[in-house]
Structure 1
Amino acid sequence: MTAIRSVVLGCGSYLPQRILTNAELATKVDTSDEWIVQRTGIRQRHIAAEGEFTSHLALHAAKAALAHAGIDAQSIDLIVLATSTPDNTFPATAVAVQAGLGIDHGAAFDLQAVCSGFVFALATADNFLRTGAFKRALVIGAETFSRILDWTDRATCVLFGDGAGAVVLEAQEQPGEPSDRGILTTHLRSDGRHQSKLYVDGGPSSTRTVGYIRMEGREVFKHAVGMITDVIVDAFDASGTSADDIDWFVPHQANKRIIDASAHKLHIAPEKVVLTVDRHGNTSAASIPLALSVAVADGRIKRGDLVLLEAMGGGFTWGSALLRW
């Protein structure tokens, strides 16, 4: 029995030009390169320029993904943009990208699941494509987290960076087997009881301000590995696969210690893990598509490879996606 799968046609990314190193941060806040690297694995991050918005980053990434896919923007009829740092409270940043691409048909909207945003957006687009409602989708993760950082709080300001990544999906008929190309299974979770552990202390309804990131780092770490492995085990069960079948593990790039612990618990070999956290920092919803782009560009991820994605973010939200490239 055949099945409609959301197949990745191409991917792209964009990083702002300015690089902020740990050494430079140490001149502004009580920290050091050694302290940051030991606890997070991060060595540098990119920072958006003055006047460079989330929509600008997203548009660059979208154009790169379309070029990599070799298709025209006019063939896109759905844009799902994951972000926690939109240009404006409304309209959605996705419509700015839609306009920037010269598209005046289909639908474009934002999705908010913090660091899990790209996995949630991928699952959302996948479901729309499989129903036949749309044919081709741009799924984007884009963030300017530097705009919501308290640069006096060393517990958070050392962690985050700016960037954007995108993939182009197309609904295609496949044989309906585990060997199909495209998204094989997605699993999403959330638990609002933990919202106080990672949040922004502002918003239009509550404070009429943007606010800053606040985090209980130890609590986030404590929950992360268990939650991540939960949805990955679900992905294995749903697809009849195991860690041995995975060619590449592309996790949310939040903290190297969390990534290492998760891979170890799942028995995923270290050489299968794609790591970019050292260069990008935590770019929230942008981190997975940025990492995908790096691994595709350097030749690691190739057509036919089985790729496992996972993320966890504020809320808490967490999710996984298993796809064949």
Structure 2
Amino acid sequence: MSGPLRARLTGVGGYLPRTIVTNDDLAQKIETSDEWIRARTGITQRHIVSGDETTASMAAAAARQALEQAGVNAEDVDAIIVATSTPDQVFPAVATQVQALLGITKGFGFDISAACSGFVYALASANSFIQSGLAKKVLVIGSEVFSRLLDWNDRTTCVLFGDGAGAVLLEAGTEEGEGILSTHLHSDGRSGDILYVDGAVGCAGTTQHLKMLGREVFRHAVVKLSQAVDEALEANNLTGQDIQWLVPHQANLRIIDGMAKKLALPADRVVVTVDRHANTSAASIPLALNEAVRDGRIQKGDLVLMEALGGGLTWGSALVRM
């Protein structure tokens, strides 16, 4: 007799825009320096969209890689969930655009807006669809063009972000102890004013640029991410020593280092891409996961912890047995 349905992660993919912008490139346009950016964030460069690159095109490219690795045809996908704060259009959703780009004519797709935590939220949603039997194969994608939200004259924010997309394919299975073990989601709207975009389609007279109180975000991140990590460990009767890989949201190297110390994980067990990708919001975790799977660091059977915090505030964690 088979056990309950579980969501297994069977494929990963990623896409980074062609154009690379270094810290030195930014220093030619605004009052900043490579040393200043590195010391505060660990970032050395970021990828920025150009030409025909869009949130949907990047999402589709990452999804194709995930499907190829899993050996699954696009037409067999039941659902697509895209985490993004930067859709190409108000509607239709990026997910339905990806559906069309991949030639999928069945199932359903929708977007999730949870800022930098979006991928964890999307992963949790896909897991629920699979556990309920509503879908058997789900593409979960994070895709962002944050470069279009930035005030490129504000050195406190424009140096922090980049563009890109990452994707995973989840498939239904029954093997106990494999796949997504648990997910944990939280939000607190009372802190929405420390990290937000000033306006949107319905708000006249706004800048529609990203605004951030960096010190406040850092303070909340340290506390709330620690809580989310503890929650994942406790739910599975594990300790930090049981975790083989930490794949965190890539916002700031100091925050990443803090989470690694909490888990007593050595640096070579933490996947870091923020130095080359900067903060790609909802795309950062799947991009980092894709890199570590494809270069052979993360292997089948490894226990991987993911965590993120974003505007809202939103935060959460996910524990996955690869």
Query: So what's the TM-score if we normalise by structure 2?
Result: 0.98
Letter in 2 for 1:322: L
Relative to structure 1, the CA distance from residue 41 to residue 171 in structure 2 (aligned partners, 3 Å threshold; closer, same or farther) is same
Which residue in the other structure is 2:105 paired with? 104
Contact 2:143/2:283, CA 8 A, preserved across alignment: yes
Q: Which runs of 5 or more structure 2 residues have no equivalent in the other structure?
A: none
Task: State the Cα deviation string for residues 94-132 of structure 1 (Å, max 9, x = none).
Answer: 100000011111010000000000000000000011000
Task: State the Cα deviation string for residues 190-209 of structure 1 (Å, max 9, x = none).
Answer: 00011110000011222386
Letter in 2 for 1:267: A
| Distance in 2 of aligned mates of 1:274 and 1:9 | 19
Letter in 1 for 2:308: A
- What SS does structure 1 have at the residue aligned with 2:31? coil
Pair 1:201 & 2:198 matched: yes
* Aligned positions of 1:13-28 closer than 5 A: 13-28=14-29
| Distance in 1 of aligned mates of 2:94 and 2:3 | 36
Contact 2:117/2:310, CA 8 A, preserved across alignment: yes
Contact 2:241/2:263, CA 8 A, preserved across alignment: no
Equivalences, count? 321
Task: State the Cα deviation string for residues 283-317 of structure 1 (Å, max 9, x = none).
Answer: 00000000001100110000000000000000110
Which residue in the other structure is 2:140 paired with? 139
RMSD between aligned alpha carbons? 1.2
Contact 1:229/1:266, CA 8 A, preserved across alignment: no
Which residue in the other structure is 2:116 paired with? 115
- What SS does structure 2 have at the residue aligned with 1:126? helix
What displacement does 1:53 show? 1.1
Which residue in the other structure is 2:48 paired with? 47
| Distance in 2 of aligned mates of 1:306 and 1:294 | 16
Which one of 300, 304, 307 corresponds to residue 307 of structure 1? 304
| Distance in 1 of aligned mates of 2:219 and 2:241 | 26
Contact 1:204/1:210, CA 8 A, preserved across alignment: no
What displacement does 1:50 show? 3.1
Identity percentage of aligned residues: 57
Pair 1:126 & 2:123 matched: no
Q: Which runs of 5 or more structure 1 residues have no equivalent in the other structure?
A: none
What displacement does 1:210 show? 7.3
- What SS does structure 2 have at the residue aligned with 1:11? strand
| Distance in 2 of aligned mates of 1:81 and 1:309 | 17
- What SS does structure 2 have at the residue aligned with 1:150? coil
Pair 1:214 & 2:211 matched: yes
- What SS does structure 2 have at the residue aligned with 1:207? coil
* Aligned positions of 1:285-324 closer than 5 A: 285-324=282-321
Pair 1:226 & 2:223 matched: yes
Which residue in the other structure is 1:172 paired with? 173
Query: So what's the TM-score if we normalise by structure 1?
Result: 0.97
Which range is displaced more, 46-55 or 307-316?
46-55
Runs of 4+ in 1 over 4 A off after TM superposition: none
Contact 1:148/1:210, CA 8 A, preserved across alignment: no
